């Protein structure tokens, strides 16, 4: 009988628990929009539009004919339907949630009225400094659950490769609405509080930041891939006042959001504040149409990503002029990584929808030619 002999070297044992594989990335991760947010190469410049789901669309007008605006926002099924429909209808590279930046004001104890003036009205206006102590903390998972449900429904209905953008108002803009009671040309009441009672102002801004962070994180947890922070009224401020009364709070806001989720920081009439806005935070700086995209990007530096910035009224012109303006903006971008094409403000209600779809196609075509 042949006896067994121990081999000089033992064969390697196969492990029954191999190293876990890294999870595959979701389809939207390498979309044009997300790559541009990360300043990575893209095959064509991505484009989406502010007020993408708005009155220029007949589908939106049909819903609004029977449903008040606030009811639309609070109906997750309809809000998701509008979100998805608009992105598909115009062929955008991202969808943006159908909602409103003042929704968070209701659980803070304010009444919001739409369609009663040139903009939304807030009642009662926050004029007394003593009233700041009575503002409740917002339990967003309960009071704003309809927003998060709309996010989940929209995300489930969208093509898996199409990113979904959430949004919130910036603390200065939200504070202005609460204090002024609606839109303003001078922001007299807001600035009076800032200048005369800095302690109360900073307390209000801390309160708003705290609750806006919870609300924005809630959208991210529900399924948005990026968020835009609208500081619609920041352009009314002198640079020194922005730095003293707004900048620290914007830093706090952006610091409270999770890393890895792109953030877009947008303000109107804020050409003098661009470097301060960049200092405040945001992966992408949104530009309105009052600044040259090329000059603004040169000021921000090569490390910046930018979004913008066609004048919305150009969309009332014929196709030749729209294409000329598209080429001009793409020329100013000069092939730099990190450009997301958008309007310098929202789509205007009477805009011909065929001009909007033509714009999307032109941006894709012309940017591919430039590449």
Q: Which pLDDT tens digit goes with each residue over 263-318? A: 999 999 999 999 999 999 999 999 999 999 999 999 999 999 999 999 999 999 99
Rounded CA separation 322/355 (Å): 8
> Is there a domain that residue 357 lies in?
yes
Q: Which pLDDT tens digit goes with each residue over 242-253? A: 999 999 999 999
Q: Is pLDDT at 10 greater than 80 in this prediction?
A: no
**What backbone torsions phi and psi does residue 328 show, to the nearest 5 degrees?**
-65, -45
Asked if 253 and 211 count as a contact pair (C-beta separation under 8 A), the reply is no
Average pLDDT over residues 127-151: 87
Asked if 94 and 103 count as a contact pair (C-beta separation under 8 A), the reply is no
> Is there a domain that residue 56 lies in?
yes
Q: Two tokens at 127?
A: 């004029």
Rounded CA separation 363/365 (Å): 6
Q: Which pLDDT tens digit goes with each residue over 31-62? A: 999 999 999 999 999 999 999 999 999 999 99
> Is there a domain that residue 253 lies in?
yes
Q: Which residue has the tokens 């430039």?
A: 370
* Domain enclosing residue 170, as ranges: 28-370
> Is there a domain that residue 16 lies in?
no
The torsion defined by the Cα of 253, 254, 256 and 258, in degrees rounded to 10, comes to 150
Tell me what pLDDT residue 5 has. 42
357 contacts: CB under 8 Å, gap ≥ 6: 89, 90, 91
Rounded CA separation 211/205 (Å): 10
Tell me what pLDDT residue 128 has. 66
Q: C-alpha distances in angstroms, 298 versus 102, 301, 334?
A: 34, 5, 11
Q: How does residue 130 score in pLDDT terms, banded at 50, 70 and 90?
A: low
**What backbone torsions phi and psi does residue 285 show, to the nearest 5 degrees?**
-100, 120
Whether this prediction's pTM lies above 0.85 is answered by yes
Number of domains in the chain: 1
Closest CA to 160 of 30, 333, 326, 39: 30
Catalytic residues: 51, 55, 64, 100, 177
Q: Is pLDDT at 100 greater than 60 in this prediction?
A: yes
> Is there a domain that residue 13 lies in?
no
Tell me what pLDDT residue 11 has. 39
Q: How does residue 9 score in pLDDT terms, banded at 50, 70 and 90?
A: very low
Tell me what pLDDT residue 119 has. 82
Closest CA to 364 of 323, 321, 305, 318: 323
Q: Is pLDDT at 336 greater than 60 in this prediction?
A: yes
Tell me what pLDDT residue 286 has. 98
> CATH no. for residue 249?
3.20.20.210
Give the β-pairing of 111-113 and 226-231: unpaired
Q: Is pLDDT at 129 greater than 80 in this prediction?
A: no
> Is there a domain that residue 23 lies in?
no
Average pLDDT over residues 75-90: 98
> Is there a domain that residue 251 lies in?
yes
> Is there a domain that residue 99 lies in?
yes
254 contacts: CB under 8 Å, gap ≥ 6: 229, 263, 265, 280, 281, 282
């Amino acid at each position: 009988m042949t006896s067994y002999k121990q081999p000089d070297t033992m064969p390697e044992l196969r492990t029954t628990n191999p190293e876990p594989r890294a999870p595959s990335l979701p389809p939207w991760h390498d979309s044009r929009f997300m790559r541009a947010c990360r300043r990575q190469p893209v095959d064509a410049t991505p484009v989406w539009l502010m007020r993408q789901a708005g009155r220029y669309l007949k589908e939106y007008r049909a819903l609004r004919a029977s449903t008040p605006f606030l009811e639309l926002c609070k109906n997750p099924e309809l809000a998701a339907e509008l979100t998805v429909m608009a992105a598909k209808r115009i062929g955008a590279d991202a969808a943006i949630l159908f909602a409103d930046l003042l929704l968070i004001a209701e659980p803070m104890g304010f009444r919001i009225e739409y369609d009663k003036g040139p903009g939304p009205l807030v009642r009662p206006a926050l004029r007394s400094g003593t009233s700041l102590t009575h503002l409740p903390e917002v339990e967003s998972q309960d009071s704003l659950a309809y927003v998060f449900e709309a996010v989940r429904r929209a995300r489930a209905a969208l093509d898996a490769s199409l990113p979904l953008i959430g949004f919130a108002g910036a603390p200065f803009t939200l504070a202005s609405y609460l204090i002024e009671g609606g839109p303003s040309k001078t922001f007299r009441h807001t600035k009076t509080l800032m200048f005369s009672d800095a302690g109360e102002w900073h307390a209000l801004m801390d309160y708003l930041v705290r609750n806006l962070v919870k609300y924005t994180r809630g959208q991210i947890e529900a399924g948005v891939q990026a968020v835009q922070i609208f500081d619609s009224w920041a352009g009314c401020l002198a640079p020194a006042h922005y730095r003293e009364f707004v900048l620290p709070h914007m830093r706090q806001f952006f610091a409270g959001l999770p890393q890895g989720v792109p953030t877009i920081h947008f303000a109107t009439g804020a050409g003098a504040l661009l470097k301060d806005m960049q200092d405040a935070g945001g992966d992408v700086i949104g530009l309105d149409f009052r600044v040259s995209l090329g000059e603004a990007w040169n000021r921000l530096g090569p490390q910046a990503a930018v979004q913008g910035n066609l004048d919305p009224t150009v969309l009332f012109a014929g196709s030749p002029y729209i294409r000329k303006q598209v080429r001009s903006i793409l020329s100013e971008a000069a092939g730099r990584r990190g450009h997301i094409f958008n309007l310098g403000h929202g789509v205007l209600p009477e805009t011909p929808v065929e001009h909007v779809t033509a714009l999307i196609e032109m941006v894709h075509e012309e940017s591919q030619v430039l590449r």
